[in-house]
């Protein structure tokens, strides 16, 4: 069985036991999280599609880690104008493990 869920402005196709990294969720490590913005649920030939979300469906996940992505350097420069700006960014992520898919 698989499900397509939406969180953090992105969509993820997950199955039982999958590990995914999503934009940071404010939950401590070890806590169970239930996401109910499910776009599609399917098993074999039987597929249900929501418009936009399926009612009564959810995915249960466990927070396994809070982590940061790689450092990105943003460098702006205009030639011959003595204009230089250097900034950096590290996106924060939450690693989740799928523990159950609850279809209606």
Extents of the domains making up the chain: 2-65+95-102
Confidence band of 104 (pLDDT split at 50, 70, 90): confident
Predicted TM-score of the model (pTM): 0.86
Residue pair 91/68 in contact by the 8 Å Cβ criterion? yes
Tokens coding 27: 């939950």
The pLDDT tens digits for 64-76 are 999 999 999 999 9
């Amino acid at each position: 069985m698989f499900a397509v869920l939406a969180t953090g402005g992105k969509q993820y196709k997950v199955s039982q036991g999958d590990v995914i990294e999503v934009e940071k969720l404010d939950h401590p490590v070890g806590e169970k999280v239930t996401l109910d913005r499910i776009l599609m649920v399917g098993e074999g030939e039987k597929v249900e599609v929501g418009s936009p979300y399926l009612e009564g469906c959810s995915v249960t996940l466990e927070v396994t880690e809070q982590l940061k992505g790689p450092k990105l350097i943003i460098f702006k420069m205009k030639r011959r104008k003595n204009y230089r700006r250097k900034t950096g960014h590290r996106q924060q992520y939450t690693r989740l493990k799928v523990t159950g898919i609850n279809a209606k």
